[in-house]
Amino acid sequence: MKNDYTYIMNCLTGKRYFRKLPLMPALLCICILLLSGCRGELPVLNSEKEYVTYPAATQTIKGFFLLNEGNMGSNKCTIDYFNYQEGYYLRNIYPESNPDVVKELGDVGNDIQIHDGKLYAVVNCSNLVEVMDVRTARHLGSVNIPNCRYITFNGDKAYVSSYAGPVQIDPEARPGKIVEFDTRTLQITREVTVGYQPEDLVITNGRLYVANSGGYRFPNYDRTVSVVDLNSFKVVNTIDVAINLHRMELDKYGRIYVTSRGDYNGIGSDVYIIDSKTETVAGSLGVSANEMHLCGDSLYIIGSEGNNQQQDNHVSYTLYDISLDKVVSSNFITDGTDREIKLPYGLAVNPETKEIYLTDATDYVTPGYLFCFSPEGKMKWKVRTGDIPAHIVFTTENFYYGYNGELPDTPEDNHSPYITKVLDFLPAPGQFVNTSPSYTAGDTQETMNQKAFKAIGENRRGLVSLGGFGGYIVVGFDHTIENKSGLRDFRVIGNAFSNGAGGGSYEPGVIMVSHDSNGNGLPDDEWYEIAGSAHQPDFTETWYGKAQAAGNDVTTHYNYEITYYRPEQEPSGSTEEKEYIHWTDNLGREGYIPKIIYHTQPYYPQWITAEKLTFKGTCLPQNAINEGTADQAYHVLYPFSYGYADNAPYNTAEACIDIDWAIDVSGNKVNLPGVDFIKIYTGVNQVNGWIGECSTEVSGIEDLHILGEKIETR
């Protein structure tokens, strides 16, 4: 065997890239290898905070943790954190969160995962899994597992791959094992022997699959995947794949992707596909692969082909579409900034924003860097990290860094006052449908919900249009909006404006609210309607007489129902079409949503496959009055006194809603402690001449109490 520090470190630590480092004397190599498990004392340091980008919260993901491996023997494994909602990066959070743990995190971090509110860091050469509270990174306990590598979960059990033996090259090295422990008690419950030096692992259909590397047994690498039945906890199959296996990803079709690192000399790396249904190798991708990450149908792969003789390597960034079974890009970094990355190492993709994160290990002994790229592969920002940044896990929990006591009893300061999720978005046909937000071919209900969130979530102040009567959006928050007596509780931001003479542009939307009584985080509890002025018996607006004279219907219709029909064909060219989208209602009326010359895209929501759409709710009086002439129409839209969305300029009191205005289906007042979900739908069925149908627009919703605004109710 060659006396080559570069090669030995590749084998021992599972490092995924060739390193151009100087050769070292054999004695020095052996001394480094003996530093296998003690957590040497390090000074306790405060975390470092750096703002790296503008605040841009995602729908549910609040941030991510990054585990820095630290070079073997340096005892410099650290954890960093990135906060989406405020755009800052925190370096080395563990010491500040755990001032009493004087030995800090340990030697060589190899994996980091989140499960059931706990953060798990696998610290390889310190022979332990560190368990923390995901909200504070406070130490909860640890599980001692020799030479541990990767972790995954099934129910209340965790499964950790372990080399089982000491850190050393040994042709006679013993087989590795999978260790099961209880995530509630942190007690080891079962173990099973698998192949040599097992690495990454996945679980599907009651079976655990682990990639065996055999790295310590160079040059006689293992080439198998061990299959463990979770009920019996025995190896029930061994799949022959390729030498020196490492990383694994499981797709939605039941296929397992596993990387082979080759032998760092003549045999190159690749990605192999295992069909979990037949437990056979279905083929390989034929691409260089040292690290990979699966997000949806996209498999992102970093490759680094090189060998110890040439002392050189070639890096690639491959994007593979698993639904098409083909490479769709040979470089998913498109702006040339990959040239700034000295040694690409870790890889992750945000499942909501599709932002790509790459880490740069630089020279393995000094701090590395984290690069953030847009979904299109253009660099957005980069930041300095700890040594050898490697593993990323996204979190949906708020993180309270440096907090050493109990979490605050009043979490308002830590919650967002704005929309944090869009649960459903279905506009009725209208002139801004498919453009606000924009539809693109292939969009689904899920992706349109995400686009709606990107427009109006977290105070972005974009805009979504709800189309004709009944079109709606359902949004949620990261807390319950409290119902405070005598005060209005939330503000709905629309695009209403006044003409200074009592009218203007007001397209009222009916507001419904729901309290998450069953606590499951879903909008499946009872809905209540906010009763605005048009809901009140015998209440008339000042403009009702003028509206009646113009032929408007000024009756409030409860239990109204309307059905829209998909047009058989789209009008050609950019011409107007008065009889475009036909509708009928439960009052025996019918009409059309016209296509106007200013907006010529399809008005029927294109991600919906149904040939007709039916909406139900309260239909408000028609508030648009033609104050022009028969030849020159000029429609003025009048506001209701209170209680509706897009019915008042956002900076006025009447844009604000009191939860105490809520009523049940019988019209009775209800007493809610607060609301977790809000639904808004277009409340008027009316076409306003050349300006088109009445369609409620929404730009955001704000919790007035978190914002500290006290606006008295009516």
All structural domains of the chain, each given as residue ranges with its CATH number in brackets, are 5-395 (2.130.10.10), 415-703 (no CATH)
Provide the pLDDT for residue 317: 96
Q: pLDDT, tens digit, for every residue of 429-444?
A: 999 999 999 999 999 9
Non-local (6+) Cβ contacts of 713 within 8 A are 486, 487, 488, 658, 660
Q: How many residues appear in the chain?
A: 714
Neighbours of 714 (CB within 10 A): 12
Please list the alpha-helical segments (H only) found in 457-597. Answer: 544-549
Provide the pLDDT for residue 571: 83
Contact 712, 487 (CB under 8 A): yes
Residue 459 burial by CB count (10 A; 0-12/13-18/19+): exposed, middle or buried?
middle
Neighbours of 238 (CB within 10 A): 14
Buried b (16+ CB within 10 A) or exposed e, 602-634: bbbbbbeeeeebebebbbbbbbbbbeeeeeeee
d(CA 252, CA 538): 57
Please list the alpha-helical segments (H only) found in 440-551. Answer: 445-456, 544-549
d(CA 83, CA 78): 17
Neighbours of 190 (CB within 10 A): 15
Q: For the whole model, what pTM was predicted?
A: 0.58
Task: Please report, in angstroms and rounded to a whole number, the separation of the first and last CA atoms in the chain.
Answer: 85
d(CA 585, CA 278): 54
Q: pLDDT, tens digit, for every residue of 109-118?
A: 999 999 989 9
Q: Shortest CA distance to 510 belongs to which of 650, 673, 685? A: 685
Provide the pLDDT for residue 321: 95
H or E segment to which residue 635 belongs: strand 635-637
Q: Give the distance from CA 328 to its chain's centroid.
A: 23
Contact 560, 622 (CB under 8 A): no
Provide the pLDDT for residue 667: 94
- Percentage of the chain beyond pLDDT 70 is 89
**Order of strands across the sheet that contains 118-123:** 109-115, 118-123, 128-133, 139-144
Tell me the C-alpha to C-alpha distance, in Å, between residue 344 and each of 12, 312, 330: 19, 14, 16
d(CA 370, CA 345): 10
d(CA 228, CA 705): 53
Residue 467 burial by CB count (10 A; 0-12/13-18/19+): exposed, middle or buried?
buried
Q: Shortest CA distance to 581 belongs to which of 597, 570, 571, 594? A: 594
> Angle CA(582)–CA(583)–CA(585) in degrees, nearest 5?
160
d(CA 227, CA 235): 5
Mean pLDDT in order along the chain per 10 residues (714 residues): 35 39 29 34 64 72 94 88 89 88 82 94 94 92 96 95 90 94 95 97 95 92 96 97 96 94 87 96 94 95 70 82 94 94 94 94 92 95 95 91 54 75 96 94 93 91 95 95 96 91 94 93 94 94 95 96 94 80 97 91 96 97 88 89 95 95 95 96 94 95 92 94
